[in-house]
Amino acid sequence: MSDAFVRLSDLTLSYGKSVAVPDLNLDIREGELIALLGPSGCGKTTTMRAIAGLLAPTSGRIVIDGRDVTRLSANKRGIGLVFQSYALFPHLNAFENVAFGLRLQKLPQAQIRARTEAAIATVGLTGFEARKPAEMSGGQQQRVALARSLVMEPKVLLLDEPLSNLDARLRLEMRIELQRVQKATGVTMVFVTHDQAEALAMADRIVLMRDGKIVQLGTPADLYDRPETAFAAGFMGFENILRLEDGDLVSEHGRAAVGYHAQAPMLGWRPDAVSVGTGPLQGRVVASSFAGGHREYVLDTPLGPVNANAPVSLAQVGVGEQVAFDLPLASARPLFA
């Protein structure tokens, strides 16, 4: 990609003799909001630490805005960091927390005040300048941490699991807020998360990682609708993944003759793509839960557990009851690895 603002080239990251990220290549566009997504231990936080200058690469290069920063210290890279814990100074009010980095630079007082007030306004906290962290909600503390990074006018803003400490309502609010701030400032933003819903809702592109490698890179729609591997499909909500052999669906538990023919060696279904109450297959309900507009079932079948959603308009099937179901070929996602 010729328009890369951040470029990671053949990047290998290690802890001692243990290689966490081998030969990673990634280009990030200027002004892009990109998510590093994956399970614990996949290398996403390690990659973020390397971009920030908190971890020296074993090999490879990191280029930001055309400048090789691979061996530069963290404070010379033009990077902003927002940590999971916020790391606010408890004895300082919001204004002084945000202004702290500017004071270390010994800027003129008028410039400090103007930039600090502007950063606080950007995150929607005007009027909260005198409050200390203990007097603020989790969402407000998160905004102070965000303003503290933005006030330094970073080239790249890195966020490590930024919403994990918030409750469900505040997470939703802060998703919207982070998107708004990113679009308003134009800052290139990279955030680390294990939450696929968070990545889907916020990112321009998603980097799905596993074992230190990029499994799939694309837009949220790409990963949600067109996962390329069984791992990507499972991570993006295809909870029923089965092999296809000679027209049969096959798992480690057994097989079912369905007469399917496809070019892919595996097929995946989301729970809402499973038909409950009709079809050629049989299962016993082992779990049932009400989820608002639908019911969620776990079926014990010859293929093993099958997760299915059914509209509440359908008659409820009780735990222990047998039920017919179908895994329609038309609703399956072909998978190749």
| Residue found by looking up tokens 């998160």 in the block | 142
Residues 33 and 121 in one domain: yes
> Tens of pLDDT along 270-291?
999 999 999 999 999 999 999 9
Residues 220 and 278 in one domain: no
Residues 210 and 281 in one domain: no
Residues 192 and 147 in one domain: yes
- Identify whether the C-beta of residue 206 lies closer than 8 Å to the C-beta of residue 37: yes
Q: Which of 233, 268, 291 is the last residue of a domain?
A: 233
Tell me what pLDDT residue 2 has: 52
What are the E-state strand segments in the chain? 4-15, 18-29, 33-37, 59-64, 67-68, 79-82, 156-160, 188-193, 205-210, 213-218, 240-245, 248-250, 255-257, 266-269, 275-290, 294-301, 304-311, 322-326, 333-335
Residues 220 and 305 in one domain: no
Count of residues for the chain? 337
Residues 21 and 97 in one domain: yes
CATH number at residue 272: 2.40.50.140
Q: Which of 184, 212, 233 is the last residue of a domain?
A: 233
CATH number at residue 90: 3.40.50.300
Backbone angles phi, psi at 110, to 5 degrees: -65, -40
Q: Are strands 333-335 and 213-218 parallel, antiparallel or unpaired?
A: unpaired
Which residue range is the domain that position 195 belongs to? Answer: 4-233
Residues 153 and 218 in one domain: yes
Residues 76 and 130 in one domain: yes
Residues 72 and 194 in one domain: yes
Q: Is 8 exposed, middle or buried (0-12, 13-18, 19+ CB in 10 A)?
A: buried
- Report how far Cα 146 is from the mean position of its chain's Cα atoms: 18
pLDDT tens series, the chain, 337 aa: 458 999 999 999 999 999 999 999 999 999 999 999 999 999 999 999 999 999 999 999 999 999 999 999 998 999 999 887 888 999 999 999 999 999 999 999 999 999 999 999 998 899 999 999 999 988 899 889 999 999 999 999 999 988 877 787 878 888 888 888 899 899 999 999 999 999 999 999 999 999 999 999 999 999 999 999 999 999 999 999 999 999 999 999 999 999 999 989 999 999 999 999 999 999 999 999 999 989 999 999 999 999 999 999 998 999 999 999 999 999 999 998 8
Q: How many domains does the chain have?
A: 2
Q: Which of 184, 209, 233 is the last residue of a domain?
A: 233
Tell me what pLDDT residue 177 has: 85
Residues 141 and 262 in one domain: no
Residues 197 and 256 in one domain: no
- Identify whether the C-beta of residue 290 lies closer than 8 Å to the C-beta of residue 312: yes
Q: What is the pTM of this model?
A: 0.88
| Residue found by looking up tokens 């001692």 in the block | 16
Residues 19 and 106 in one domain: yes
What H or E segment, with its residue span, contains residue 54?
none
